[in-house]
Each structure stands twice: as structure tokens, then as C-alpha cells.
Structure 1
Amino acid sequence: MLDRITAFFQGIGQAVGRGIGLLIAWIVWPFMAAHGWYRQRHWMVKGPILAFLVLMIGLYGYFFWQTQVWTNFNPNFVDSYRWSERNVPAGQELPATAPASANATAPATGAKQCQSSAIVDAAADLTDMNVNQNAWISSMLLYRLGFFGIDWDHTPFLDNKASFQRGVNQAVRRTSTELVDSLGRVRGTSGINNNLQDARGNLQFDEFSWYFGLSPFGPKTPTPSYYRAAISKLRAFNTDLTSCNATFDSRVDNLIQFIDRIANDLGGTSAILRERSENYNAGWFDTRADDRFWFAYGQLYGYYAVLAAAGADFSQVIRERNIGSLWTDTLSQFKSALRIQPAIISNGREDGWIMPSHLAVMGFYTLRVRSNLVELRSVLDR
């Protein structure tokens, strides 16, 4: 009896071994055939083929490096700004003895000086991290080509950074719109600031544009160039603001509207997370779960910086309405959400016990943040 059991398992092992051997042979055969064909060719044929292979290996090596190395990724990076030490709201004249903002270009000695906008600094620095400190993944040639024709977003690898960057950019886009429409002007009595208008236009540009496109056919300006131009325009606005040649309207109704827009944006993301979590339960094998997770993470990452900056720009409103503790608690909710960094994103059943549901967890934290923002808006609107 024992011999038969042993023979049964040995048979299974041999069958598995043969299957693996056949699989390896099937994978290796095209390369062996190509090698045999290549070895018999003339050097005038071998040379271009070898050069092409070296080029592709180099491109894919660079692509792999850029997708896996996240330069200056730090959920606590807002602490380095020391915005809590600011006592003057954005756009207000600084006392004569007060030093200039560390992120502003100081005007001539003795000239009137105003407080720069921390929100503008945050938007510019977030975009700088996306396109200068890191490569913008979504418009790279190999990302556009996909994995053997399959969109990288439909694969379980090499697309997390791209989704994170697009999430950060979503937060910056929304912020630039609010800067143009309300924060960077006195509503009804001043025109739109040209620097902010140009920055918004550049940040709205297609996230996937490379140097050449098919629709329309011909050469194009790549996405990172537009975003770099937006950075310059944002910093130019802050330079003018520091010299008291621009406007930042830090009224309570502007803060209410800004918070409301962010809460609505996060509400949309929460709905996307919920839809994916409820309708797709493939666990570790859901190839779109990582895209949804890291987009939401990037959006929270961006809004955390923007709202921390808003606490400095609207410091007077926060003091007058006595919402300092509520504001701090809201930022703490962002920090809690940003601590979730699983190595592999799983979209299992919410009541499952083997594969976790990271989308449900991220959706929960997103709703917690949104709930705090709604409460902030309610208190400010009283």
C-alpha cells in the first residue's frame, strides 16, 4: 500500500517535471532558432540587429529603473516647509522686520514685501517631483507601446509609479483651477492672473503625449515640457506675490469653496475604489487594482501637501474660526492614509481571510479624509 502511494506521488512529480521542461523548451525554442539564424548571417545583417538589440536593452533597462525608483518620495515631506511657523496669510504685507519666505524671491532691500503662497509652492514642488526629479512615466515611449501591445495599466507590473504620478497631478490640476478662478484674484473686482492662467492651461495638457503622435499625426511637444512650463509660471506668480504685485484672496468663502472642491474630487475617487472593490474580487490577480490604489494614494499625497499649505495661507481664517484642532486632525487623517504602502496590491473579498482588500482599505481612509473636509466646510460656513 505504501509503495503504491509513493509511486503515485512520484508519478505526479515526474509529470510536473515533464510539464515544466516542455514549458521551458517552448519558451527557449524561439530564441535558439533566432540564434541559429543569426549566426549564419553576414555581418552587414548582424550589425544592425545587434545595434537594435542593444538599444532595446538599454531603453528597457532605463524604463525599468525609472518605474521602480521613486526619487524623493516621502509622505512626510511637508514637514520640511515649516509652514506652521507662518503668522501672515498669503498675499498680506509682511512686517518690516519679518524675513522673506524661504521659497520666495526677495525684492530689493527696503521695498514692500508680501507673504508668498504656500499652496503655490506646494503645487510647483509636487509637479517638479513628477517631471524633474523623476521621469514622467505615462508619456515614455515604452510605456506608450505597452507590454507586447497590452496597455501597461492592464498588467500587474511597472505601472504603479505612473498611476501615482497621475494621482498627484490630479490634485495639482484641481488646485491650479481654484487658484485661477478664486484664490488668485479678488472675485468680481480683478482680472485673472496671467501666470496662473498659463499654469492651469499647461497642467491640463494630455498626460500621455510623447514627441510624436498619430492623432493628430506628426511631432508633438511631450507632456513633461508643458508641466515644466507650469512650474515656471507658478513660481513667477509667487515672485510677483512676494513683491506685492499679485493678489491672493484669503477670504473664508474662498477657503470653503476650495475645501468643497477637494472633498468632491475625493468623493469621485472613493466611488471608483468602491466600484472596483465590489465588482472585481480577483485578489492578487486583479491587474487593475494597483492602478486604482496608487492613483488614490497619489491624489491623497498631493492634497495632503496642498491642504497643509492652505493652513498657512489661510492661517488668519483658521485662528478666527478656532478650527486649528479640526484642521490638524484632518491632516492627521491624510498621514494615516499615506502609511498604507503594500508591496503587492490585492483586491480580495472584504470578508475574505486569505487575500486582503487593499482597495476597500484605501476607500475607507479616503472617505475618512472626505468626512473631515465636509465637517471643516460645515464649521466654516456657520
Structure 2
Amino acid sequence: MSENDLPQNTPYKGILWTLGVIGSAILVLMLILSTWWSQEPDPFNVYDEAIERSKVDDTSDIPVGYVYANTLAHIAEVLLHKPGGYITNDAAPPGIFMDNMPSWELGALVILRDATTALRNHFARDQSQSAEDPDLAIAEPYFYYERNSWALPSTEAEYQKGVDALHNYMIRLQKPTGKKPARFYSRADNLWQYVEIVIKRLGGLSTRLSASSEHTYIREMTVQITEDSKVSRLKKEHVTTEPLTRTPWLEVDDIFWEARGASWALLHILKAIEHDFRAILIDKRAMNTVDIMIRALENSLQPIMSPMILNGSGFGLFANYSLTMANYIARANAAALDLRDVMNRG
């Protein structure tokens, strides 16, 4: 009897074939889901969202500060309810294998935290010794909860509590005659204190993005002061430049997507500031400065034409997406410096 005449093990072959088909289908499904979930959320209209939430006909009927607070709440809601939900704390595929969207979420979350802290400590307080708003005192800590907790309690559950507290603040903001009315003070000194934080965030992102390329330097200054009996005078200034540590190749896209998330969140916050601080911005002739920041961030969010983040060098054959992003953020940062100076001017 030849080998060809031996009975074939057909049941096992059928099982292996079935398992192969199922595995391939799961792999394709995971690929489709990860591609869908990696899509950046579209920008939203901060005015339309505020009108819808407040149930009024026009933004002129909305109290000052409502657009800003609602923008923060909606940014958090987008993080929680976009396609795929909040992905950073996923413990199952495909979310556990994704890194672009978690980096995007981190960038947006940091900006959200800064803006919520500014609302609690500055915008909603008349002076340094005034009592803080009770709902904002609840909302802010929830947004600082660890961003990658998947259970007991989950990150989503804690952030949702922060959103609910912001909504309670907004309800009280609409009812100034209630027992505990909410307040929002759109003053120049309040805005100046928040812009200081924005400058540091944008400067840090610009520096980290620039480190994706070779031959990037930072400027360090050492100043020595000599004291005498009447006046302190500058004795010596020593300036050096040192190369930045180049970003590892596997981290270039993470920093890029973090910057995209931060730009997306800050863009909406600036539009809300443009509405709620309109009077002081017009008085200080700073409306155009805010517009420059908004345009720069809008340009930084242009659609990406490549399936991967290119990291070319200088004027080479391929583009460097990180340096392009750094250019737009640096322009927004320069405008933020001007805005800080204008707000701090008497």
C-alpha cells in the first residue's frame, strides 16, 4: 500500500482551516477598528454647543463664562465618547496596541486640566482671599485622576464626575439669583495668569517637536550679578548653545500626536476666551493677537496626507512633520507672549 492510499486526517485539516479563517477575520476586524478609532475628532463650534446646552436662542443671552465652562465640559465629553471611547486605559485589543490616539488624548487632557485649574483658581474667584466655587472644587480633582485606570474606579467614571460638576457650575451661572450663584470674572489679570501656563505648554511642545531633527540647539544663559552698596549691576553674561537630545525614532510619532491633541483642545479654549473675554480683549486691543493664536493652531491641525509620521531632515527628500508642527506651535507661542504682555500692561 502506498502513502497516497493511507487515510487522510481530514477532520483536523478542517479545524485548522476554520481556525485560520476566524483568526484572519479577527485580525482584519482589529485593523479596521484601530484605523477607525485612530481618527482625530473633528473641531466643534463652541458657540453652537453652548447654545444647545443652555437652551437659549443666541450667545448674547448666555452669561459670561458659560461658553468657557461648556467648552471644557465638551472637550472632556469628546475624550470619553469619541469613536472607541477613551482608549488610553484599554486593557483589550485593539486599544491596548494603539499608541497614536492615547498620545493625542494625553495632549488634550493636559490642556483641559490647565484650563480647569485656571477656572477654579482665577476666573471664578474675585480675589485671592475669596472662597472658591464648590462645584469647581469638585470638578478639577477628578480631571487629575490617573489617566490609565481601567477599573475600581475607571478613568472614564472619574472624568464623567468632573463633567457633571462643570454642568452644575454652569446651571448656577445661569441663575445668578439663586442661593449659591456662580461667578466668572473676565479680568485682564485672570487671563494673564492663564496665558502664562499656556506659554509654558506651547514652549515645551515646540522644543520636544524640534528635537526630532538633528542639529537642533537650545540657548543657555548664565548671568553673574555684582552687588554694591547702592545698586545691583550686571557684571557678566555668558551665553552657550547645546544640542538637544534627539527624540528616539519610536517616540517621534507619540510627541507629534500629543501636540496635535493639545492644539485641538487649546484651539477650542481660545475661541471660548475670545467670546467670554471679548470686552477686555477689545479694550486692550488684543483681539487680533488671540486670532493669530487661533489661526496658527488651526493650521497645525491640517489633514495628514501620509499614513505615517514622516521624519525627514532639513531640506531633504521627505518632509519632517514634527518640525512643521513645531513651527505652527512656535507661532502660537509668540502670540501668547504678546498677549501676556498686553494683559499685564496697566
**TM-score normalised according to structure 2 size:** 0.75
User: 2:281·2:287 contact (CA, 8 Å) conserved in 1?
Assistant: yes
Q: Which amino acid aligns with 1:315?
A: R
- Structure 1's 64 and 104: CA in aligned 2 closer, same or farther, altered over 3 A? same
User: 2:88·2:102 contact (CA, 8 Å) conserved in 1?
Assistant: yes
- Residue 347 (structure 1) aligns with: 311
5 Å-filtered alignment, 1:303-342, equals 303-339=266-302, 341-342=304-305
CA distance in 2, matches of 1:205, 1:290: 25
**Displacement after TM superposition at 1:369 (Å):** 0.6
Which of residues 239, 252, 263 is equivalent to 2:171? 239
5 Å-filtered alignment, 1:72-87, equals 73-75=41-43, 77-78=44-45, 81=47
State the secondary structure of the residue aligned to 1:118. helix
- Residue 201 (structure 2) aligns with: 265
- Residue 54 (structure 2) aligns with: 104
> Is residue 136 from structure 1 mapped to residue 76 from structure 2 by the alignment?
no
CA distance in 2, matches of 1:341, 1:122: 25
CA distance in 2, matches of 1:61, 1:144: 9
- Residue 323 (structure 2) aligns with: 360
Identical counterparts, % of pairs: 21
Aligned residues: 295
**Displacement after TM superposition at 1:82 (Å):** 5.8
5 Å-filtered alignment, 1:1-382, equals 39=12, 61=29, 65=33, 68-69=36-37, 73-75=41-43, 77-78=44-45, 81=47, 101-104=51-54, 114-134=63-83, 135-142=85-92, 152=97, 158-211=98-151, 220-244=152-176, 245-278=181-214, 279-280=245-246, 286-339=249-302, 341-343=304-306, 344-351=308-315, 353-382=316-345
**TM-score normalised according to structure 1 size:** 0.68
- Residue 15 (structure 1) aligns with: none
CA distance in 1, matches of 2:156, 2:298: 28
Unaligned 5+ runs, structure 1: 1-35, 84-99, 107-111, 147-151, 153-157, 212-219
CA distance in 2, matches of 1:56, 1:349: 38
State the secondary structure of the residue aligned to 1:199. helix
CA distance in 2, matches of 1:357, 1:274: 10
- Structure 1's 280 and 198: CA in aligned 2 closer, same or farther, altered over 3 A? same
Unaligned 5+ runs, structure 2: 1-8, 215-244
CA distance in 2, matches of 1:326, 1:125: 25
CA distance in 2, matches of 1:208, 1:308: 29
- Structure 1's 67 and 167: CA in aligned 2 closer, same or farther, altered over 3 A? farther
